[in-house]
Chains A and B, each alone.
Chain A
């Protein structure tokens, strides 16, 4: 789907016109291309203490060289980024990382935040601001909790101020989890990278030190076998593409009726096509049997298959309600049950489900859809502990307005408005959702348990 408005305000005369009229000017987002550097400019690491030092070393160490810390080698190689520890005037930073894990009082925020502020006007297009912090807990001293929770409000507000495709996100590191933990490192890298182009204003919790960093950041899913449901088109096809790009063998699943497109996707990603209705009672068994027989194992299941049957609740038919719940949540529960009991999904398995901002903030006319997507959020939260003993995780991604065949059917004016209702003032692409899913599916994300990551450009609705 093309966003004509986005094209107009980024080219030629219309660009100038939009500037003069003060119209919203969404930027063309930088997206991941294999082989591109992580950042296209220097990074500023703010904050003091061992965590900040570690982050600075991680970013600045040359690729292939192992940065050493006092504790364990955090990663096999560094990210080869030019790192500054103090804001240098006139430098256009590509990223600002605020390591705030040590704050114990709201006053502790002042220095790093103001240092960051001095760089913002010269932040490069598509720049990144990432905070690293600890969650505010009930057991915290009030000042500590205030400082930590303050990071949340600060970050979400800053994200709304950033322009030109820049994003602000935060990694929230659970107590006891070192900043060198694989999921913290991987989440930091994800937020810095072009892979998180449409993720904005989000704070992602890392719950444990589980997980394993990849030997090759371009192939974080090497050797993994991933099933993607609803893979014939749209977001599902993009997920298959991205998982395959990241090194996974992909089993592309969709209903038999979508087989023609499914075959094209499977052939494109050099995976296998499995024509299957996910609501079939034996869907889980058939997925496991296919993955085992054809690929020898099963590591990742992406529950992407979903339908909408929008209607105001007052006009909702039984069938509209039931079919949405059946496909969007009941099928996932049944397949997960089969996965958990099979014994073949026990080697650091990953479940990633598609939720929706509708399931968080609600959406008029989507009571059925929102119920199912809210259900997904609850399901992954409760499923993650069941998988954790095997090093497994279950998480969800909640897309906002994504340019798909589905959103293309929204009436034009409504669509234009919906697109602008977020900090990036545009709809996301299916690949943006896919990148988040690939991240959560990766071995490095093993410490992220039962979370829902929004891919919405910081949509104004909900958290």
Chain B
């Protein structure tokens, strides 16, 4: 295969989303209970390769990652590439930015394409909570390390003698914040209470997510975005037949100890999920040479972070600050966006984000604006459902959102152009993440 050495250019060129593939997301302990991160990422890659005929292709670079990762997976993405139908000469690297991992792979690879460093790339992410790494206790770990460092049998025995039965119990993996020891749900409960988000509003967000995702599946929208895996053909968490009544029956699980009423339930929070996603990226030239249609350009991105440790802002509120900066850089307002994708970590994450953007006071005092940042018409928000319905395998969510909205952007623009309207069609993608992180990106239909 002829390899092109792209010339680096001083002016960035466009980087395009050319397509995507993911496996259906499974509930933890479900259909993918026996599948590893590497298994699932390989399956997602192979589905992408099959869809776009990339067998034996040397892709510029593949970047992916997992939030919950075994130490043996120190080269997870490369190993998945080697197990896939891609050429073994495809380089790869791992990325880890909590739930923003998937989107960050899209952003960083797009930037490399924009710089002329890459012609093609595959972004991705995978996570399994069914096959999460279990660590040994800190004491056992130290002892084992000392044993391996010991030079004489006596030293080894001495090290082992330090062990007590309780040291043999495994340390279960935790998803709580290392600094606050609060789970994400407990954190979001604080934010939910602060912004006085009602149970009804959250249940409505959840219902809409399920209804829209189900409708998209029924319309065949995901036929070229999802490849079944291990007998699962749709996201296992999807409840097409849910209703406000059913959602209202669920008992709150987060925010129980607060003064405000607890509103967050298993229905309006994302469950632990297993899955993997990939996004095919490329330059216009590469796309043309491979008979691929650019769907949307990855225009720009902005990361943010908040000081949740000291309660200054809610754990998942970083995008609230990043998005105004991102849009300002392009002279855009929220109203200029055809689509807004806000990752539904919790229904209330979406609602607190919108509440903060809609608040005059917050806009003036925290965002440095003249007033409220803006509003988002629900008709433009998470148009094909989001994580509440699909589930949220942490690092796989970014890829899911980008591939989905890029397809939607392209279709929208095509129908607009057919109707004689040549105006740009844009989408915002916003993903909150552990550690008070947020990553947001601006896409424009190609």
Residue of B nearest to A273 (CB): B50
Please, how many angstroms separate the alpha-carbon atoms of A257 and B55 in the complex?
A: 22
Please, how many angstroms separate the alpha-carbon atoms of A270 and B50 in the complex?
A: 8
Q: Is the CB of B222 within 8 A of A294?
A: no
Q: A245-276: contact bitstring with B at CB < 8 Å (1 yes, 0 no)?
A: 00001001000111110111111001111111
Q: Which residues of B contact A296 (CB under 8 A)?
A: 291
Q: Which residues of A contact B220 (CB under 8 A)?
A: 256, 276-277, 280
Say if the beta carbon of A293 comes within 8 Å of chain B.
yes
Among B47, B226, B291, B292, chain A packs the most CB atoms within 10 A around the CB of B47
Q: Is the CB of A294 within 8 A of B53?
A: yes
Say if the beta carbon of B200 comes within 8 Å of chain A.
no
Please, how many angstroms separate the alpha-carbon atoms of A107 and B269 in the complex?
A: 87
Q: Is the CB of A256 within 8 A of B51?
A: no
Q: Is the CB of B222 within 8 A of A267?
A: no
Please, how many angstroms separate the alpha-carbon atoms of A265 and B46 in the complex?
A: 11
Residue of B nearest to A232 (CB): B228
Q: Is the CB of B43 within 8 A of A276?
A: no
Say if the beta carbon of B285 comes within 8 Å of chain A.
no
CB distance from A283 to the nearest CB of B (A): 10
Given contacts A256-B222, A275-B223, contact A266 B50 (CB under 8 A): yes
Q: Which residues of B contact A270 (CB under 8 A)?
A: 53, 55-56
CB distance from B225 to the nearest CB of A (A): 9
| Interchain pairs with CB closer than 8 A, number | 77
CB distance from A261 to the nearest CB of B (A): 9
A interface residues, how many (CB within 8 angstroms): 26
Say if the beta carbon of B233 comes within 8 Å of chain A.
yes
Q: B36-76: contact bitstring with A at CB < 8 Å (1 yes, 0 no)?
A: 00000001001101111101100000000000000000000
Among B49, B53, B56, B220, chain A packs the most CB atoms within 10 A around the CB of B53
Q: Which residues of B contact A272 (CB under 8 A)?
A: 50-53
Q: Is the CB of A259 within 8 A of B47?
A: yes
Partner of A263, one of B223, B227, B230, B233: B227
CB distance from B249 to the nearest CB of A (A): 31
Q: Which residues of A contact B228 (CB under 8 A)?
A: 256-260
Q: Which residues of B contact A275 (CB under 8 A)?
A: 223-224, 226-227
Say if the beta carbon of B293 comes within 8 Å of chain A.
yes
CB distance from A157 to the nearest CB of B (A): 48
CB distance from A56 to the nearest CB of B (A): 43
Question: Please, could you name 14 A-B residue pairs with CB atoms under 8 Å apart, sorted by A?
Answer: A249-B53, A256-B222, A256-B223, A257-B233, A259-B227, A263-B46, A263-B51, A264-B50, A266-B51, A267-B46, A267-B85, A271-B53, A274-B224, A294-B291
Known: A263-B49, A265-B50, A276-B223. 16 other contacts (CB 8 A): A260-B228, A262-B227, A263-B47, A263-B51, A266-B55, A271-B50, A273-B50, A275-B223, A275-B226, A275-B227, A277-B220, A280-B220, A293-B292, A293-B293, A294-B292, A295-B53
A residues adjacent to B (C-beta < 8 A): 249, 252, 256-260, 262-267, 270-277, 280, 293-296
